[in-house]
């Protein structure tokens, strides 16, 4: 994810939007996305993996 975001930000100076399915709802992905100031993201999360409160606590 880091490499993709770095390359994408070299191509444009505009804000990026990353949209992924639930296969990418890992904590590490969320942390990496939040490191980039000009990146917004939408990630579908898998309710079967964890309850809502613990997922949100870990993510943010």
Parallel/antiparallel/unpaired status of strands 39-43 and 16-20: parallel
Q: Is the pTM of this model over 0.75?
A: no
Half-sphere exposure of 57 (CA within 13 A, CB side): 5
Percentage of the chain with pLDDT > 90?
A: 57
SS3 annotation, 1-60: CHHHHHHHHHHCCCCEEEEECHHHCCHHHHHHHHHCCCEEEEECCCCCCCCHHHHHHHHC
Is the CB of residue 59 less than 8 Å from the CB of residue 35?
A: no
Tens digit of pLDDT for each residue in 33-54?
999 999 999 998 776 665 656 6
pLDDT for res 25 = 84
């Amino acid at each position: 994810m880091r490499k993709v975001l770095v390359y994408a930000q070299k191509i444009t100076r505009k804000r990026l939007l990353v949209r992924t399915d639930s296969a990418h709802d890992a904590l590490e992905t969320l942390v990496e996305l939040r490191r980039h100031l000009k990146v917004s993201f939408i990630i579908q999360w898998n309710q079967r993996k964890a309850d809502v409160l613990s997922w949100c606590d870990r993510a943010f």
